[in-house]
Amino acid sequence: MIVETEAYSQEEEACHGYNKKTLSNKVLFGEPGRFYIYRSYGIHHCLNIVTDKDNFASGVLIRAVFISNKNERLASGPGLVTKTFELDNKFNSLEILNNKCLWISKGKSYLEKKDLIQTTRIGISKAKNIKWRWYLKRSRSISKREKGDRNPNLKNSTNNLSGVT
C-alpha cells in the first residue's frame, strides 16, 4: 500500500520538467498513467507516476510503501521503494495498468481526508514551501514525519489493517 507521495509540476523549480524537455525526462512529459523512473544523485532510483496531461511535465513520486507481513521500514523512502521492488530504468515508461511486470491497482477505499497529513516536500533545494507531500498518518512506514506528528503505536498503525498489501 502506498503510504507517502509527493507531487511535482513543470511550473515549479523542483520538477525534473521545469524549463525543458530532455532525453532523460521525456517520459514525464508523456501521456499520464506511465511510470517515470530516474536515478537520484547517481545513487538510487526513484519511482514516479506521470499525471495530468500529455506534453505537460507532472508526476507523483512514490516516497514510501507499506508491505504487509514485512519490516515496516523496508520501503520507507524513495530509494528503498525501488530497492525493495528491484526497480530501475528498464521499468521507465511502462503503463501502470497494462503490463505484467509492475502495476498499481486500486485498494480498499477506507481513507478519509483526516487520515492524511499534507505538508511540504522533503529532500529538495527549490520550491521547498509547496505543500505537495501527503502521507498516511497512521503509517509507521513513511520516510519522515511532520514536526509534531508522532509515530502511531502498533495497535493503530497500518500494520493492523488485515488484507491490505
Residue 59 confidence (pLDDT): 98
Cβ(64)–Cβ(81) below 8 Å: yes
Q: What is the CATH code for 2-160?
A: 3.10.300.10
Please write the tens of the pLDDT for every residue from 101-115: 888 887 776 788 899
Q: What phi, psi does 44 have (nearest 5°)?
A: -130, 165
Read off φ and ψ for residue 80, nearest 5 degrees. Answer: -70, -30
* DSSP-based three-state secondary structure for 79: helix
Find out whether 30 and 10 touch, Cβ atoms under 8 Å.
no
Domain ranges of the chain: 2-160
pLDDT tens-digit series, residues 47-93: 999 999 999 999 999 999 999 999 999 999 999 999 999 999 999 99
Tell me the sheet residues that pair with 46.
Answer: 38
Provide mean pLDDT across the span 124-151.
92
pLDDT band, very low/low/confident/very high, at 38 (cuts 50, 70, 90): very high
Phi, psi of 3, deg, nearest 5: -120, -5
